[in-house]
């Protein structure tokens, strides 16, 4: 993580004043002209800092090599989609210029080696799911904040935990607040470099419960910097909430996860996001049989905000933390009821407030068309 960021900063500091052009660098072959032109367009469209660099800058050429690989992956995969081989498409997004090694630095979920001391219960599936809605979307109930962006920091676990805490607080109080991921990044695990080390959602809960009286700062009071400097600057006098514990959802049980989402709120979940297909996901129900679901395969923390059926395929509605230019405006539909694919039900948790108030829910109508789904994204 630090190596990648430092390289970018150094390149920015000493970059020539010339901007990228479609003129092919001398180190590339004429056969790469189309890819180079696509790369220049990409740098401009996504406002990459290196769009102001010269074509021959080593950093630019490194970014091009990563882009070229991913550009080919997108084209090959989408051709397979057109042949009916895949249920989702890939596309260019802010991560399309990351090498495999750089991409993996974003995946900061690290399972804790020690058992939790704050989890008070395990949520189990009801005997029947008949009383649950066929589809559910917590965004429609004003308990989900807009998609955020973790930047070049392995803090996905903090964003996952905070998304669940924001929902729990909103359900309990009737007020949606944006909480501080930076507080978890700086304060959890004794101030180590969590951007580089990573963390687990339960560790974030426990930090708030054990060391901050169950209260968490608002985002406006402790703003995100995408860095972990090892200094906890929590402002407990301004913090809100009263989180007392959290619950584990029965590991590997998708019925339990469905019930937990429908009755308890947004769930903090860990998944295997190691494939380039997740990195470059654009639209559709993400189904990737090479995904692992064992605890040691999980590498990314996200938030399960709902579920439903799209084109006859069951899906989980998952909120990511890579900005709204990734995926479906920051969300992804992940396969549901498919043997716990990508481990989405392996490590699911939700925080508990000291006072839970019942919130009336209305069943949602399942969405079947791209236009309808896009309208609520």
CA distance linking residue 150 with residue 219, whole number of Å = 13
Closest listed residue to residue 166, CA positions, set 136, 141, 132, 203: 141
- For residue 222, what are the CA distances in angstroms to 67, 73, 149? 35, 39, 15
Q: Do 259 and 217 touch, CB atoms closer than 8 A? A: no
Closest listed residue to residue 207, CA positions, set 114, 298, 118: 118
Beta strands in 27-100 (DSSP E): 88-90
Taking the CB of residue 25, how many other CB atoms lie within 10 A of it? Answer: 15
Which residues is 362 bridged to in the sheet? none
Q: Rg of the chain over CA atoms, in angstroms?
A: 21
SS3 content of the chain, % helix, strand, coil (to 5): 35, 20, 45
CB burial of residue 176 (10 Å; 0-12, 13-18, 19+): middle
Active-site residue, 156 included: yes
Active-site residue identified among 55, 141, 156, 212: 156
Active-site residue identified among 55, 293, 320, 340: 320
CA atoms within 13 A on the CB side of 168: 32
CB burial of residue 325 (10 Å; 0-12, 13-18, 19+): middle
CA distance linking residue 59 with residue 312, whole number of Å = 45
Active-site residue identified among 55, 86, 300, 342: 300
Which residues is 348 bridged to in the sheet? 269
Q: Which residues are catalytic?
A: 156, 300, 320
């Amino acid at each position: 993580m630090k190596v990648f960021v430092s390289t970018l900063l150094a390149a920015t500091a000493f970059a020539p004043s010339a901007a990228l052009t479609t003129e092919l660098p001398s180190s590339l072959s004429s056969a790469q002209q189309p890819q180079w032109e696509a790369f220049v367009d990409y740098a401009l469209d996504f406002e990459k800092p290196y769009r102001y660099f010269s074509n021959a800058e080593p950093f630019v050429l490194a970014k091009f090599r990563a882009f070229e690989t991913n550009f080919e992956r997108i084209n090959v995969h989408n051709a397979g989609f057109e042949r009916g081989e895949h249920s989702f498409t890939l596309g260019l997004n802010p991560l399309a210029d990351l090498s495999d090694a750089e991409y993996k630095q974003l995946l900061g979920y690290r399972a804790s080696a020690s058992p939790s001391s704050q989890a008070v219960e395990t949520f189990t599936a009801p005997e029947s799911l008949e009383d649950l809605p066929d589809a559910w979307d917590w965004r429609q109930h004003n308990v989900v904040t807009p998609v955020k962006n973790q930047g070049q920091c392995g803090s996905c676990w903090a964003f996952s935990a905070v998304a669940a805490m924001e929902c729990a607080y909103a359900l309990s109080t009737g007020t949606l607040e944006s909480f501080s991921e930076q507080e978890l990044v700086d304060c959890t695990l004794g101030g180590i470099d969590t951007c580089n080390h990573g963390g687990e959602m339960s560790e974030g809960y426990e930090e708030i419960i054990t060391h901050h009286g169950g209260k968490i700062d608002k985002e406006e009071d402790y703003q995100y910097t995408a860095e972990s400097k090892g200094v906890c600057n929590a402002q407990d006098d301004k913090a809100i909430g009263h989180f007392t514990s959290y619950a584990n959802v029965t590991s590997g049980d998708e019925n339990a996860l469905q019930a937990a989402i429908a009755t308890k709120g947004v769930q903090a979940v860990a998944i295997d996001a190691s494939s380039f297909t997740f990195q470059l996901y654009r639209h559709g129900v993400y189904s990737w049989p090479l995904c692992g679901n064992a605890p040691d395969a999980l590498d990314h923390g996200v938030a399960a905000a709902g579920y439903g059926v799209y084109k006859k395929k069951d899906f989980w509605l998952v909120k990511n933390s890579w900005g709204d230019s990734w995926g479906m405006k920051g969300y992804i539909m992940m396969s549901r009821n498919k043997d716990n694919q990508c481990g989405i039900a392996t490590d699911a948790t939700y925080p508990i407030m000291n006072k839970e108030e019942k919130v009336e829910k209305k069943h949602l109508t399942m969405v079947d068309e791209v236009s309808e789904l896009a309208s609520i994204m």
